[in-house]
Amino acid sequence: MSNSSVDWLAITSPEYATQQQFMRHRFLRSIQAQTPMLAIVSIAAALFGLALAFHVSAGLWSAQALVYLIFMLVSIGVMLEIWRSSRMRNLLSIMALVLPLGAVFAFVSRSAHTWSFPLFGAFLKSSPGQMATELSMALLVLVAFIFYRYRCAMWSQCLLSIAIFMPITDLLASLYQIPQAYGQVSLLASVSGLFSAIALLAIQMSQTPISYLFLMDDSGSHLRWRVLIMSLCAVALGGIGVLFKHDPKLTPVLITVSLVVIVCTLTITYYRKGVVHEQVLPPADLAFASELESAIAHQQFYLVFQPQINFQSGEMMGVEALIRWQHPQLGVVSPVKFIGVAELTGLIVPMGAWVLRAACMQAASWTDPGRVNLKVSVNVSPLQLRSPGFVAFVSTVLQETGLSAERLVIELTESAFVHNDSHGAETMLKLKQMGIKLAIDDFGTGYSCLAYLRDIPGDYLKVDRSFVRELPGQERSEAVTRAIVALGKSLHYQIVAEGVETEAQADFLKALGCDLVQGFLYAKPMPADALQAWISGREATPVLIDQAFSA
């Protein structure tokens, strides 16, 4: 991991912060951040109820104890899930809150027998019907947890919806003024079970279909309004049924079932129809985007560097900094799998800020003769380029790291120019005035426009690997590559060929007049320490550019 540090989520801009998809994930993450506290409240209520349950003489203490044990074990399981992806300091802070709960349990269990029953009788109800309801709620939460562990998110969320709505029967019974209604749950069981179920649902908040309820666009708002209106209608119909002497004891249960059906049916229907805004990620990417934001928050990324070599002299001229994700469970994740999601959600802005700082810091630390003058290339997304304060951020990074501006190359894709406005052009001019080099990456693969080649003060033009891959032999790719090189040369760009893997490709590109080359034929992307060893090996055994050198 890189030793550089930056407050990833503090780097924002108005355009970045207002993106619906990013705000949606930030909202979901804020809910998930409360999961430990929800689980702790559930455990506290379960401990209190468990301590009291042993002093109940109604003959149902074993069933009560089982209910509280299930809620407590599920909440502990939820906390363990969080600890797997959290830092040790989070674990210690949570343990500091959990340990006093043991003292509460010991105190209550010792003292409850000396208390008068009315003092805690309000917290415990021991009728067989209530025990059956509490046990059903506990079993629902337990089965939902098992479904969650086996990645059956839809079934887990449906069961949790039922469990969460079960305590509503008490509220409905009070609203309808129905004494001794069916389906009522004791206060402690309601608190422990409700918080346990919500905590388990919170860690699934970014997974479908429940995530559709929290979409920040018009589709999500439409779904929430439908749920609210139909739920109010169901409650009103229940009141009318009671007014006309419908079986009053069963009414709260029927209305509760109706509310569950409304939420589950509408949510799953929206999910299956795919009624989402075009900026919202596909369902399969929702959980992945949440993982990505967590990875950004915990800095699970590191940099590798791929050398760029002068085609004529064989001298190493610079390196391109490339990001890699060290996933706790999946290992190293290729940027091909997460860069697109980062672009769509806006997370590319804090991610790119870290890459820029880490790359500059690493390049500034190179003091040996073989690397002291190397340039470092960093990819910058269009969102970063259009962010207010980007130039000031780059200037601050250069000052803090001590890297000279002439050694930094900012690579921009064609989309940064095509969708750019006057502010972006002004940003590039300011970067050039600072002495920073500009490179046009992936030229020819997007909406190529000759006007920006004329107007943008670029220094490097990169021939995309998709063209290089088909060289030589593919007539059309050869023609396009010749045109790119000729055009770049006439505008005084240095031509960089990337993705070179064979000597035939290298010979063809060198004959066209390309200036720099990078690819597996010469070196693979490697960490900073491996790069030092690679440079030392080249110095010990000089190699001409015409000879293949594979890292």
State how far Cα 151 lies from the chain centre. 18
What percent of the chain is modeled with pLDDT above 90? 12
pLDDT for 357 = 92
DSSP state of 327: E
- Please choose, from the candidates 144, 162, 140, 163, the residue with its C-alpha nearest in 3D space to the C-alpha of residue 152: 144
Domains in the chain: ranges and CATH: 33-111+127-273 (no CATH), 308-318+358-540 (3.20.20.450)
Would the pLDDT of 284 be above 60? no
Q: Which of 202-206, 247-251, 319-323 has the lowest mean pLDDT?
A: 247-251
Structure tokens at 246: 């419908």
CB 531 within 8 A of CB 306: no
Q: Which of 360-374, 398-412, 417-431 has the highest mean pLDDT?
A: 398-412
Which long-range contacts does 523-527 make (Cβ < 8 Å, 24+ apart)? 523/306, 523/307, 523/549, 523/550, 523/551, 524/306, 524/550, 524/551, 525/304, 525/305, 525/306, 525/320, 525/322, 526/304, 526/305, 526/306, 526/551, 527/302, 527/303, 527/304, 527/305
224-245 per-position pLDDT tens digit: 888 888 888 888 877 777 777 6
80-125 per-position pLDDT tens digit: 777 765 544 455 555 555 555 555 555 555 554 444 444 444 444 5
Helix (H, G, I), strand (E, B) or coil at 473: coil
User: pLDDT grade, residue 8 (50/70/90)?
Assistant: very low
pLDDT for 422 = 57
Q: What is the mean pLDDT of residues 364-379?
A: 82
Q: What is the mean pLDDT of residues 474-481?
A: 86
Helices (H), 274-334: 283-297
d(CA 278, CA 370): 49
Helices (H), 1-57: 14-17, 20-33, 35-53
DSSP state of 328: T
pLDDT for 525 = 92
Structure tokens at 523: 């070196």
pLDDT for 539 = 65
